[in-house]
Chain A
Amino acid sequence: MERYIVALILCTFLIACQDEISLDLPIPEEAIVVEGSIENDSIAVVVLTRNAPYFSEFNFNDLDEYFVKDADVRVTDGTDTVQLSELTVPSSAGFEFTVYADLQFEMIGEFGKTYWLLVESDGTSLRAKTTIPHVQSIDSLFYRPVNENNDTLVMLRAQMADPDTLGNYYRSFTKVNSDLFWPPLNSIGDDLFINGVAFEFPIFRGQPRSDELDPNTYGFFTRGDTVVVKFCAIDAVHYDFWATMEQQLGQEGSPFASPTEILGNIEGGLGIWGGYGATYETVYIEE
């Protein structure tokens, strides 16, 4: 919140002036970036990419080099191990993604289980561990007008009872009509502050960060929308990843912010291998 205050004060009092500059920076060590997840009743999906010097050129034609191909990607639950298949998915922008997935449906995520990810690529070995925690379902989902004068926008509210034991971590996503599931800008929460309490909280509409943020409408839904809320329990390490990443992105451009290093869980690489204990709730917002 501090950054809003700071921004407000700076805008009000000061005439800041900005100039483009060029920086001479060291080259970061080459690393493989993992974006992988496994959810209850679903299969493991992993995307492997590479990091790059911040100001290096990146052309969409270079995507072949950006995605890590021909890697050996396995998931094990300690008893069974599956190898994920590499597949190429075309995107709407005209280029292709490389994804690794358990297309044979050999290992379906189960609540309470631990899953290890093992990756071998060109002599680089990566390893990570996650769990799929049990999730407390949302008790009810409802909406109300944003304010008295607004008859098109509504805010979504949920009610739930946090379990009595400390150490529950949550992440939420929303899907509006036929769009994809997107997390809101702050998608995570924990129960250190609200342990064991039955409480009501807002569910913000998720959106890609690249979409323009309109402070007048951010997080709200429109009458006539059908909204699916994906509410997930995640483990502590998984939570730390999104907490640090969202903090880093959230304070981008703030003069007072100190650097937030993203805490991943990949031994030998960057990124996250995360388990989701997910529940889905749907609500239709009447016109």
Chain B
Amino acid sequence: MKDNRAFKAMIAVLLFLSCMLLFSLESKAQVKYTLSGYLKDASSGETLIGANVFDAEERSFGATTNLYGFYSLTLPEGKYKLEFSYIGYESVFAEINLVEDVNYNLEMKLKGFSAAEEIVVRAERQDENVNSADMGKVELSVDKIKNLPALLGEVDVLKTIQLLPGVMSSGEGNSGFYVRGGGPDQNLILLDDATVFNTGHLLGFFSVFNADAIKNTTLIKGGMPAQYGGRLSSVLDISMKDGNMKRFQATGGIGLLSSRLTLEGPIKKEVSSFMISGRRTYAFELAKPGIDRTDFAGTSYYFYDLNAKVNYRFSDKDRLYLSGYFGRDVLNYKFNNRDLELRMPYGNITTTLRWNHLFSNKLFMNASAIYNDYQFKFGFGAQDFDFTLESGVKDANFKLDFDYYPIATHKIKFGANYTYHTFIPNAASGSSGEVEFEGIENRQYAHEFAAYVQDEIDLADWLKVNLGLRWSRFQQIGPYEQYLYDDFGIPRDTIFFDRGETIKAYQGLEPRASARVKLNNVSSMKAGVSWNAQYLHLVSIGNTSLPADLWLPSNVNVEPQRGVQYSVGYFRNFQENMYEASIELYYKNMKNQIRYAQGYVPELGVDPDEGFIYGSGRSFGSEFFLRKNFGDLNGWVGYTISKTDREFEDLNRGERFPAKYDRTHDLSVVLSYTLSENWTFGGAFVFGTGTAFTLPIGRYLINGDIVYEYGDVNSYRIKDYHRMDLSATWKSSKKKRWDSSWTFSVYNIYNRKNTFFIFYDAEFSIEEQQLNTKAYSVALFPIIPSVTYNFKF
């Protein structure tokens, strides 16, 4: 009820402020001109995302480049001294005499080595921490994370994100992540605007994002702007490199697990460029000759990724991008003695076509057509029996996004989005000899619509607000066969829906707001609130995220997830932005959470919906963050204290229980030290409260077998997790055509045996005339050294 009142109040405030905005735009009838353009990297021509243009003297106004490197500032006629800045690049100062509209494109140069801004997580404008109205937003520049230690030398943006406060790893060595107590399905993960439904290779130990192909990564963990939607917890927006506009370049690396090669260059200088990047594992292939001499001959495993992108600049006003990702994990397991075979191929495909168009120097448009497809297959064969299980999700998505900069104090974004979803929930088929079986395939289809508008307004020097409103609608449509089940879960009747027929529709308004109150030049307070709707659900039969987890839509049986998050924070910079610090508090409420009941046994031929139970969740906590931005030694300390629980009527006797995402204390310390032109060292230490587990507490015998009686849900904590990783990178001296480096990395340097899972063992001993019961803790990764060779020419 409280949420409902707040929600209505929010809508009223938004309406009032839109009236105010119209008034303010009309009343200021002073002569104004627009300064606009693109900011790019001088050596590659790559556009710079999130670079800043601001008043160099007063710092009273400014603009930030968008995802395509475009900025626009509309100011009263006059002379301005402007600073163009981007971390790691030399700032450019320019005097602009604004007596007409000015188009000012700028190529910025990377700072030399001595500038020592080898910071891992990039601050935006150096005082952006204090100045912007954004809360819980972090940008990561991939080039800079390569100096950090990595498991088996595989640089992984998702694992670096886990080192930030409020973001937790979904398990030892796992690239999956939870944000502020939300499940893994509550993170919107975008690769060039395409949704990536499965982010992990090899059961999630490595992410699908090949660091060599990525330009920029933005994580928003709270106060999601209205341009994003469809998830409750966070947005991870990843941009692929566009490709070097100036010269041909090859980048690559050889590691213990995989090798990478990226080629990029101009197709036509300054007009068109391409980027193609591939990665493939070979660890298993090395063992293959040995395996092929055993009963398991034919068993193999590998994964690969391919990223490709081309772009073409028709003019200063139009640019076209086409990008794609293709990745697969392929496991084949054979046991020839029994004529037994398992096949498990799975992976994502994404394709994005984007058109940037400048209607005027104040109005930027991006139109996108996007296709993404996640497929999981599991096949089993034994003699003449064969069985295949298939699941996945496919989306065709059209988006229009506008950036409108009417005056320097307003930055307006608006747009619309349509997605056609196809879900394949566990389609089973099989054959035994001549006889073929088909289970319920029952694909589900849906339309999803969204429209949004948001405005970042400088109301006063000390007050900035960001207001947004998003409307979304989700429509489950036919063809669909709705099964009506009896009390025993047996489908007894069917309702047929025709193609395109609406079966169930949900919609809602999602207001978003944040405000920044500047206390003085070095500190500010911020507060934000956002309502979010999520029409997709991920259900896992296992205890952790697995590729077999099912993505399902909200439908006639399952309602959408709805959430609201309130956050407030204090932000302060020290020593001329050398250090920045923040404290953020958040409270999040989540409705319509789903999971399988505890006695659920997967059943072919039954809709997965039948096994669900429904509940709610909440999460609250404080995040502390201190970061050193410059100097030979830089890095950060992040600490989170939080609580996350869930409540399901049909679980744990209806009592609240800790979510598996609950981690009371979570600490990360990340440091990078540049010793010389050749040597850089990196280190990371993490500490987290042990994961909540459900353990058997009792036993009884059935037919001579010992079975478990479980205790309360997640009532047991495994011991606290901690680990330290170190790395050293040697880089060849610059000025050479062939640029190379060696990274030596040690994972878990003090060989901590962190519990990955616990299992029980019981045995009747006839000699001792008794039952012996034992519990074991299994640790996964001991100390693991690795070495990676990287090159660039």
A residues in contact (CB < 8 Å) with B: 1-2, 4-6, 8-9, 12-23, 25-28, 31, 33, 35, 49-55, 57-61, 93, 146-147, 155, 166-167, 183, 190, 192-195, 197-202, 208-210, 215-216, 236-237, 240, 243-245, 247-249, 252-253, 255-263, 270-272
Which residues does chain B contribute within 8 Å of A236, judged by CB atoms? 488-490
- The reply to whether the CB of B378 lies closer than 8 angstroms to some CB of chain A is yes
Assess whether B694 is in contact with A192, with CB atoms less than 8 Å apart. Answer: no
Assess whether B603 is in contact with A9, with CB atoms less than 8 Å apart. Answer: no
B residues in contact (CB < 8 Å) with A: 202-203, 283-284, 287, 295, 299, 301, 331, 333, 335, 337-339, 342, 344, 378, 380, 382-383, 385, 428, 430, 432-433, 435, 437, 439, 486, 488-492, 540-544, 546, 548, 596, 598-601, 603-606, 694-705, 707-712, 715-716, 753, 756-761, 764, 766, 769-771, 773-782
Assess whether B598 is in contact with A261, with CB atoms less than 8 Å apart. Answer: yes
B632 CB to nearest chain A CB (Å): 36
Complex Cα gap A201–B606 (Å): 21
Complex Cα gap A15–B541 (Å): 25
Q: List, sorted by A's number, 9 A–B pairs whose CB atoms are closer than 8 Å.
A: A22-B775, A25-B711, A54-B708, A55-B775, A59-B770, A146-B338, A249-B705, A256-B542, A259-B694
Report the nearest B residue to A55, measured CB to CB: B773
Which residues does chain B contribute within 8 Å of A18, judged by CB atoms? 776-779
Assess whether A20 is in contact with B774, with CB atoms less than 8 Å apart. Answer: yes
A191 CB to nearest chain B CB (Å): 8
Assess whether B753 is in contact with A272, with CB atoms less than 8 Å apart. Answer: no
Complex Cα gap A48–B378 (Å): 42
Assess whether A193 is in contact with B203, with CB atoms less than 8 Å apart. Answer: no
Given A20-B775, A167-B490, A249-B707 in contact, is the A255-B756 Cβ separation under 8 Å?
A: yes
Report the nearest A residue to B389, measured CB to CB: A1
Assess whether B203 is in contact with A6, with CB atoms less than 8 Å apart. Answer: yes
Which residues does chain B contribute within 8 Å of A210, judged by CB atoms? 704-705, 764
Assess whether B337 is in contact with A216, with CB atoms less than 8 Å apart. Answer: yes
Given A193-B605, A200-B435 in contact, is the A19-B777 Cβ separation under 8 Å?
A: yes
Candidate in A19, A193, A215 with the most chain B CB atoms within 10 angstroms: A193
Which residues does chain A contribute within 8 Å of B491, judged by CB atoms? 166, 192
- Please name the 4 residue pairs, one residue from A and one from B, whose CB atoms are nearest each other, closest first: A28-B698, A192-B605, A236-B488, A58-B771
Complex Cα gap A260–B775 (Å): 18
B391 CB to nearest chain A CB (Å): 13
Complex Cα gap A190–B335 (Å): 27
Which residues does chain A contribute within 8 Å of B333, judged by CB atoms? 4-5, 8
B461 CB to nearest chain A CB (Å): 54
Assess whether A17 is in contact with B779, with CB atoms less than 8 Å apart. Answer: yes
Complex Cα gap A55–B695 (Å): 12
B712 CB to nearest chain A CB (Å): 8
Assess whether A192 is in contact with B603, with CB atoms less than 8 Å apart. Answer: yes
Assess whether A58 is in contact with B770, with CB atoms less than 8 Å apart. Answer: yes
Given A54-B697, A166-B491, A244-B601 in contact, is the A33-B702 Cβ separation under 8 Å?
A: yes
Assess whether A255 is in contact with B707, with CB atoms less than 8 Å apart. Answer: no
Report the nearest A residue to B771, measured CB to CB: A58
A208 CB to nearest chain B CB (Å): 6
Which residues does chain B contribute within 8 Å of A248, judged by CB atoms? 707-708
Which residues does chain B contribute within 8 Å of A201, judged by CB atoms? 385, 432
Assess whether A215 is in contact with B759, with CB atoms less than 8 Å apart. Answer: no
Which residues does chain B contribute within 8 Å of A259, judged by CB atoms? 598, 694, 696, 708, 710
Complex Cα gap A51–B782 (Å): 38
Report the nearest A residue to B755, measured CB to CB: A21
Candidate in B488, B696, B698 with the most chain A CB atoms within 10 angstroms: B698
B559 CB to nearest chain A CB (Å): 23
Complex Cα gap A195–B603 (Å): 13
Complex Cα gap A236–B486 (Å): 11
Which residues does chain B contribute within 8 Å of A33, judged by CB atoms? 700-702
Complex Cα gap A245–B702 (Å): 9
Complex Cα gap A193–B437 (Å): 7
Given A12-B287, A260-B601 in contact, is the A54-B766 Cβ separation under 8 Å?
A: no
Complex Cα gap A99–B492 (Å): 40
Complex Cα gap A245–B761 (Å): 16
Which residues does chain B contribute within 8 Å of A49, judged by CB atoms? 700-701
Complex Cα gap A237–B604 (Å): 17
Assess whether A9 is in contact with B782, with CB atoms less than 8 Å apart. Answer: no
Which residues does chain A contribute within 8 Å of B698, judged by CB atoms? 27-28, 51-54
Assess whether B773 is in contact with A14, with CB atoms less than 8 Å apart. Answer: no
Assess whether B705 is in contact with A16, with CB atoms less than 8 Å apart. Answer: no
Candidate in B380, B383, B699 with the most chain A CB atoms within 10 angstroms: B699
Report the nearest B residue to A235, measured CB to CB: B488
Report the nearest B residue to A33, measured CB to CB: B700
Complex Cα gap A208–B361 (Å): 78
Which residues does chain B contribute within 8 Å of A54, judged by CB atoms? 696-699, 708-709, 760, 773
Which residues does chain A contribute within 8 Å of B702, judged by CB atoms? 33, 35, 245, 271-272
Report the nearest B residue to A3, measured CB to CB: B542
Which residues does chain B contribute within 8 Å of A146, judged by CB atoms? 338-339
Assess whether A53 is in contact with B700, with CB atoms less than 8 Å apart. Answer: no
Assess whether B331 is in contact with A5, with CB atoms less than 8 Å apart. Answer: yes
Which residues does chain A contribute within 8 Å of B701, judged by CB atoms? 33, 49
Given A14-B781, A244-B601, A260-B598, 8 more A-B residue pairs with CB atoms under 8 Å apart are A9-B202, A9-B301, A26-B697, A53-B698, A193-B437, A215-B335, A216-B337, A258-B541
